[in-house]
Amino acid sequence: MRSFAGRDILSLKEFERNEFFHVFDVAAKMEPIARYRKNVDMLKEKTLVTAFYQPSTRTRLAHEAAMHRLGGHVTGFSDAKMTRAGDFYQESIKDTVKMLEFYGDVIVMRHFQQGAPHEAARWASVPIINGGDGWGEHPTQILTDLYTVLREKGRIDGLKWLAVGDMRMRTMHSLGYALSQFDCPVTFVSPPEMSLTEDFKAELKQYSVNFREVDHVEQAIADADVILVEPVVQPDYTKSRDERGKEVSLTPANYQITRDLLFNKAKSDAILLHSLPRMDEIPSDVDITKWSRYWQEAFNGVVMRMTLLAMVLGAME
Ligand code: CP
């Protein structure tokens, strides 16, 4: 297996099956640090640089919390408008990371342009972690989700997935690539204008992903072991920032996971994931049902970022 030390985490296309399981093994070792709210000194000589060109609550703060848990330091920006990349100069990715690499030992980047973290990785001498790039990918989120499935269900192979939302989303791309390494049939449900692109479908076929598309969650929920939901009412991820207008539409029933639907149609032991933030696709009265696992998923988001930081910085093999 390739070492993770010094490696960029840009895409789950690059991940092999044994690498997924290796990451999950390391995550299980790291988990007690977060669970018991400890701070250790594993990365005490390392600094994380956060380069967030788009808003984030979870991805940026989970990486920062992870670095603090491991005794490391954090610097960076969460509002590119206050940097030279966001003002008159429109400083390039290259010029920006040629600075950032001197300010820390690993960079986590979120950007509205697909491929921006890959461009950063071309020029940086330190590892780049993709925190979400336009419609591209969100690898650390899907690693978190798969780890959550493993912890909650005890296995990944053999589970049937239902993925609901906008199939142009970066999480859906990372999910598709990840599932190519497991025995997991997946059913996608999305509005027609947000369906799988022809290019992505061709890739899924090339990677032998067992997938189908249906119109309504009711057509697939009864078989699902893992229900992963993303919004269909959402901002444009190719913009640096998309303010909410006065009116936003409601999520149609086809793409909503309600308490009634779960009680009447879902498997008793299915689990429900959402990377958050949400609109109304999972109403809040679902939170206290036995199916919801999104708060565990959020906790695992810190564990997974601790794991990846420790591995790319060579503190865990
Ligand atoms: N799940 C996720 O990526 O959340 P943020 O946009 O808050 O980082």
Ligand 1 neighbour 298 (Cβ under 6 A):
no
Residue 1, in any domain of the structure: no
**Which residue's alpha carbon is at the smallest distance from atom 6 of ligand 1?**
56
Same domain as 228, residue 97: no
For the CA of 138, the closest atom of ligand 1 is 3
Q: Tally the residues of the chain.
A: 317
* Whole-prediction pTM: 0.97
Which of these, 226, 201, 51, 210, lies nearest to 147 by C-alpha position? 226
Q: How many angstroms separate the alpha carbon of residue 142 from the centre of ligand 1?
A: 12
Give the domain CATH number at 74: 3.40.50.1370
Same domain as 44, residue 175: no
Measuring CA to CA, how many Å separate 171 from each of 30, 76, 271? 24, 24, 18
Angle between helices 116-123 and 93-100 (to 10 degrees): 50
Same domain as 239, residue 181: yes
Same domain as 195, residue 169: yes
Same domain as 26, residue 38: yes
For the CA of 55, the closest atom of ligand 1 is 6
Query: Which of 53, 54, 57 should be mutated for ligand 1, with most atoms under 8 A from CB?
Result: 57
Residue 230 is part of which domain span?
141-292
Count of C-beta atoms within a 10 Å radius of residue 291: 20
Q: How many angstroms separate the alpha carbon of residue 47 from the centre of ligand 1?
A: 22
Please tell me the total count of domains within the chain: 2
Residue 183, in any domain of the structure: yes
Residue 317, in any domain of the structure: no
Same domain as 264, residue 212: yes
Residue 2, in any domain of the structure: no
Same domain as 189, residue 111: no
CA–CA separation, 314 vs 317, rounded Å? 7
**Which residue's alpha carbon is at the smallest distance from atom 4 of ligand 1?**
58
Cβ neighbors of 158 (< 8 A, separation 6 or more) are 183, 184
Q: What is the pLDDT of residues 64-123, one digit of tens each?
A: 999 999 999 999 999 999 999 999 999 999 999 999 999 999 999 999 999 999 999 999
Q: What is the pLDDT of residues 180-213, one digit of tens each?
A: 999 999 999 999 999 999 999 999 999 999 999 9
Same domain as 120, residue 26: yes
Residue 123, in any domain of the structure: yes
